[in-house]
Amino acid sequence: MNSDVFMGRFLRSISDGDLFKKVFAIILRVAAIIVALGGLYLWIRLWGTVFDLGGFFAVVGGIIFQIILIITIAMVTHVVWLRAETVAGLPQADFTVIPIASILLKLTGEVYVSLFVPLSIAGGVGIWFGGGNFMYYVTRYVDFLPRLPLDFLRGGGGTFLGGLFFIVGGIVTAFLSLVFFYLLAEILVVTVDIARNLKITREVAEGYKKPGAAV
């Protein structure tokens, strides 16, 4: 039976990694679209809260936050979309799923940075402008983010120190998250390299043994 008939082509696609690359690339593109649409929905809803903050400077802080928020949504969407292109463009290799897993780990750290850095700055500036009123506004978006060290970020309340805590805490969290997920990705890649080198070493050793055995 021709290998291209029935399951032959499907199995070859799995072995070559083409199926995994296509599926994960599609998943990431869909995720990017969901992030864009969901973020836009959140951004629109939060405008109602901005004008309910009370006080001119609190509203100004809310507007600044909203401007940075829409930029953040665009950043995260773009990062996810770019990583989808990276997955789709992976070359053929002995290992198929591990390179994709490494990219996904890096993407997780990159998403954390894209979220925490700009939103922490926006939140801190908003707290400086709006004081205690803005803390309520901040909690409206925190629930949509991965878990933050909220006790530290809110430690200074609506004061200048509170805004500073929010900025520094968010940036530190982003940096540590990036380092952690990149470390996991590199450990995964190094493990693959070790496995590949062991395979080559074994093949070379077997090649040396065979002539000796023949004698």
Do 158 and 132 touch, CB atoms closer than 8 A? Answer: yes
Give, as one character, the DSSP assignment of residue 5: S
Instruction: Name the pLDDT band for 96 (thresholds 50, 70, 90).
Output: confident
Question: Three-state SS for 104?
Answer: helix
The domain limits of the chain are 8-214
Asked if 138 and 167 touch (Cβ cutoff 8 Å), the reply is no
Quote the CA–CA distance of 130 and 124 in Å, as a whole number. Answer: 10
Q: Give 27's pLDDT tier (boundaries 50, 70, 90).
A: very high
Answer whether 0.75 is exceeded by the pTM: yes
Evaluate if residue 153 carries a pLDDT over 90: no
User: How far is residue 127's CA from residue 155's CA, in Å, rounded to a whole number?
Assistant: 12
Return the percentage of the chain with pLDDT > 90, whole number: 28
Highest mean pLDDT pick, 45-59, 121-135, 148-162, 171-185 = 171-185
- % pLDDT > 70, the chain: 73
